[in-house]
């Protein structure tokens, strides 16, 4: 019989198999997992934390647990189109809070739950920086998929009616940046994405 910590670890590891829903809906070929996104966000925090004058270790740790709740709830994507959001932000946070509380419980690391709550509140420089890196990871991934031609842009897709190509992923990110670094990286990535498309991005 397994102990609570091993049971919890196995559930943490479900993030390795939980595919990012936004990419699945867009019919991306071999889309990334939530764990892959978590790694990308953590790498961005590792590389840019000092530039933003936040504690690198704290930022990386926060990045590693920021989507932990999705091991139980699944990935609920942020949508730009009216009527496309499946549940409210408050409902999503409540479900993820319950999951994170359970998943960190066996390890007696109460600071992990505190970091997750700080990230959700977004009222500290570290949380704002980590959230911006979360958004930047998504935009970088969109640029990567566009360059690699990982989807059929001519295919009819009822999930993406108002936005062409991968524009919605940029449109959801654009109004949410809270740091100058995040805005600068976003502008640079968007410019590269537009160069790939040969047209302006819908924002």
CA distances from 160 to 65, 90, 96, 135, 155 (A): 29, 24, 26, 19, 11
CATH architecture for the domain at 4-197: Orthogonal Bundle (1.10)
Quick: pLDDT tens for 170-185: 999 999 999 999 999 9
pTM of the model: 0.92
The pLDDT of residue 91 is: 84
Ranges 23-27, 53-57, 107-111, 184-188: which has the least confidence: 107-111
CA distance 142 to 153: 13
100 three-class SS = helix
CA distance 4 to 51: 39
Is pLDDT above 90 for 90? no
Is pLDDT above 70 for 73? yes
Domain range summary for the chain, segments of one domain joined by +? 4-197
Q: How confident is the model at residue 1 (pLDDT cuts 50, 70, 90)?
A: very low
Average pLDDT rounded to a whole number, residues 69-96: 77
In the chain, % of residues over pLDDT 90:
80
Tell me the torsion sign for CA atoms 136, 71, 93, 83: positive
């Amino acid at each position: 019989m397994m102990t609570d910590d091993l049971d919890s670890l196995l559930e943490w590891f479900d993030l390795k198999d939980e595919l990012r829903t936004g990419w699945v809906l867009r019919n991306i070929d071999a889309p990334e997992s939530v764990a892959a996104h978590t790694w990308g966000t953590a790498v961005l925090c590792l590389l840019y934390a000092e530039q933003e004058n936040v504690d690198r270790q704290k930022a990386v740790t926060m990045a590693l647990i920021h989507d932990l709740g999705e091991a139980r709830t699944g990935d609920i994507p942020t949508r730009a189109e009216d009527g496309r959001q499946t549940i409210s932000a408050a409902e999503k946070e409540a479900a993820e809070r319950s999951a994170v509380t359970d998943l960190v419980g066996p390890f007696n690391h109460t600071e992990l739950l505190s970091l997750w709550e700080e990230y959700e509140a977004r009222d500290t420089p570290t949380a704002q920086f980590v959230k911006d890196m979360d958004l930047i990871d998504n935009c970088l991934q969109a640029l990567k998929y566009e360059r690699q031609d990982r989807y059929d842009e001519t295919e009819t897709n009822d999930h993406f009616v108002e936005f062409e190509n991968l524009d919605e992923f940029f449109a959801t990110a654009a109004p949410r940046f809270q740091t100058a670094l995040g805005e600068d990286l976003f502008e640079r990535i968007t410019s590269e994405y537009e160069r790939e498309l040969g047209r302006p991005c819908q924002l």
